[in-house]
Amino acid sequence: MSMNTQGRPTALVEASDMQEMKPVFESFSGHQGLRLDEPLIFELGSTDTTGVDVAEVDDFEMALGGLERSTEIGCPGLAEPDTVRHFTRLSRRNYGIDMGVFPLGSCTMKHNPRLNEKMARLPGFGDIHPLQPESTVQGALGLIEELSHWIMTITGMPAVAMSPKAGAHGELCGVMAIRAALEARGDAREVILCPESAHGTNPATAAFCGYKVKSIPGRENGRVDLEALRESLDDTVAAVMITNPNTCGLFETEVKEIADAIHAAGAFFYCDGANFNAIMGKARPGDLGVDAMHLNLHKTFSTPHGGGGPGSGPVVFSDALKDFAPLPYVKQTADGKRLHEWPEDGDKSLGRLTAFHGQMGMYVRALSYMMSHGSDGLKQASEDAVLNANYVLASLGDVMSASFEGPCMHEALFDDRFLKDTGVTTLDFAKAMIDEGYHPMTMYFPLVVHGAMLIEPTETESKYNMDQFIRSMRGLAETAKRKETERFEGAPYFAPWKRLDETQAARRPVLRFTEAAE
């Protein structure tokens, strides 16, 4: 069998310099004990085999009116057990939230409760089709309404748009509503302000909507510089996009003053709510002067990231913006619930944002999470997330360099000052974490600190898990400081593949299988 050499290295991990990893011999199979080598499915199967045996049909007449495929489809055929083994082997090379601590900051890799999965698979939800008649989906529409109610209550906001498919899509929805509101009052503003520490999607959304993006500096303590913000605010500013808690893992303590300054300038306050899981049940954006804010159901409300299709990023709106929210939305009428899909006379809506109303599977999971926790449980989830992050910050503060004075919110931010003069970089450190059996934390974000390492343990990690994680991190930090760099230089030593060229993979992806030349 010829192995494909495009797009990925195909050789098994090379014997490294690390003594433990030197194989005593090469196996005949190419496997290394339970670490099984795995070719591509194209290399395993072939286009002239198939997993099913179907007898030839006599007198077969094609009924496709000439639309039948005339060329080979090119998909490899494989028997069921081989297909199952292929994907199972591949899955064992992956690392997921169900395997171990997943400390990616700003991403909130939450435990996905199994109860959510059970609820989402109930036939009335799982088998639903977006084009079903409204009379047959009254329960589903009712669930969307109920989830909306929970979201509005917990955020203290009077309206919510359920259709956005992700946080970034929610930002688009919010900024489009802001534009619609400004246009409705004949006010053509052209600038959106974002802090230096903003997530990349904030300036990208503003630019996508045709606004000029201006950056506002941060202060020494990792928060927005209120004075600098005031100086930048004038009648050209449409909105200010601020994340709270911010991407440094800190609460913007002057958020009320910030909101007042924004409103005094006639602008809108878009709050990036990606970090809402740190304040849920403790503070309501509606009390903080927010005009629009997205919630990432996959961050705060435990739905899986990339949950089997589009995600979900509902956007809450203040009174000033609620009339401009997008279609469609659920409406109660005399004949039951229906989707309000088309603008009617007098509608100020920004228009239709999505073809279908949303991601039913994510709605069911999020509501299941909310109802199983209750309002007190959601509050406790925030408290535990913040407690766990502070446990990490306090336990590593003496060996790593915390970027800002604590306490932090739900994530602990370190930078690379503790690696100064060691020859070890943030990237090396992250790769060495893979050898320790951990998915690395978020690296090099936020950009406001050098060589950032952003750690978010979330609320579900036990003390045992966190102590193990902290022991590894301390061990690595102390090893680096002793300038014992071998552990870092070739890391990861114990992973099937080493340092892949991620830039090439992103810039020049090879998306089509081609047979390697013999």
Q: Which residue has the tokens 């409406």?
A: 331
Rounded to the nearest whole angstrom, what is the least distance from the CB of residue 399 to ligand PLP in the complex? 27
- Residue 110 within binding range of ligand PLP, rule CB under 6 A: no
The answer to whether 123 and 279 are in contact (CB under 8 A) is: no
Q: Which positions from 198 to 217 touch ligand PLP by CB under 6 A, shown as an x/- string?
A: -x-x----------------
Residue 296 binds to ligand PLP (criterion: CB under 6 A):
yes
End-to-end CA distance of the chain: 10
Count residues binding ligand PLP (CB under 6 A): 13
Among residues 167, 174, 245, 307, the one that binds ligand PLP under rule CB under 6 A = 167
The span from the CA of 174 to the CA of 180, in Å, is 10
Stretch that binds ligand PLP, among 114-122, 153-161, 163-171, 181-189 (CB under 6 A): 163-171
Comparing CB distances to ligand PLP, the nearer of 294 and 487 is: 294
Candidates 143, 151, 168, 283: give the one binding ligand PLP (CB under 6 A): 168
Stretch that binds ligand PLP, among 165-173, 279-287, 345-353, 476-484 (CB under 6 A): 165-173
Structural tokens at position 275: 């970090």
Least separation in angstroms between residue 272's CB and ligand PLP is 5
Nearer to ligand PLP, 137 or 386 (CB): 386
Q: Is the peptide bond before 492 cis (omega within 30 degrees of 0)?
A: yes
Which residues are CB-neighbours of 495 under 8 A, at least 6 positions away? 13, 434, 435
Q: Which long-range contacts (CB under 8 A, 24 or more apart) does 495-500 make?
A: 495/13, 495/434, 495/435, 496/12, 496/13, 496/35, 496/93, 497/8, 497/9, 497/13, 498/13, 498/14, 499/431, 500/8, 500/9
By C-beta, is 141 or 168 nearer to ligand PLP? Answer: 168
Asked whether position 358 contacts ligand PLP by CB under 6 A, the answer is no
Binding window for ligand PLP (CB under 6 A); candidates: 162-170, 278-286, 408-416, 454-462: 162-170
| CB contact set of 481 (below 8 Å; sequence gap of 6+) | 399, 418, 422
Q: Is 231 exposed, middle or buried (0-12, 13-18, 19+ CB in 10 A)?
A: exposed
- Binding flag, residue 410, ligand PLP (CB under 6 A): no
Q: Which residue in the shown chain puts its C-beta closest to ligand PLP?
A: 167
Segment interacting with ligand PLP, rule: CB under 6 A, options 16-24, 58-66, 92-100, 166-174 = 166-174
What is the rounded distance in angstroms from the CA atom of residue 225 to the CA atom of residue 221? 9
**CB of 78 or CB of 168, closer to ligand PLP:** 168
Q: How far is the CB of 168 from ligand PLP (least distance, A)?
A: 3
Do 18 and 490 touch, CB atoms closer than 8 A? yes
Token pair belonging to 483: 């300038």
243 touching ligand PLP, by CB under 6 A: yes
Which residue, 298 or 487, is less far from ligand PLP as judged by CB?
298
CA distances from residue 193 to 152, 166, 212 in whole angstroms, order as listed: 26, 22, 8
* Distance (Å, whole) CA 237 – CA 193: 7
Specify the stretch interacting with ligand PLP by CB under 6 A; choose among 42-50, 164-172, 316-324, 457-465: 164-172
Q: Which is nearer to ligand PLP, 296 or 403 (CB)?
A: 296
3-state helix vs strand vs coil in the chain, percent to 5 = 35, 10, 50
310-329 binders of ligand PLP (CB under 6 A): 311, 313
Spatial CA neighbour of 277 closest among 204, 377, 195, 363: 377
Length of the chain: 518
Binding mask 247-276 for ligand PLP (x = CB under 6 A): x------------------------x-x--
Contact residues: ligand PLP, CB under 6 A: 106, 166-168, 199, 201, 243, 247, 272, 274, 296, 311, 313
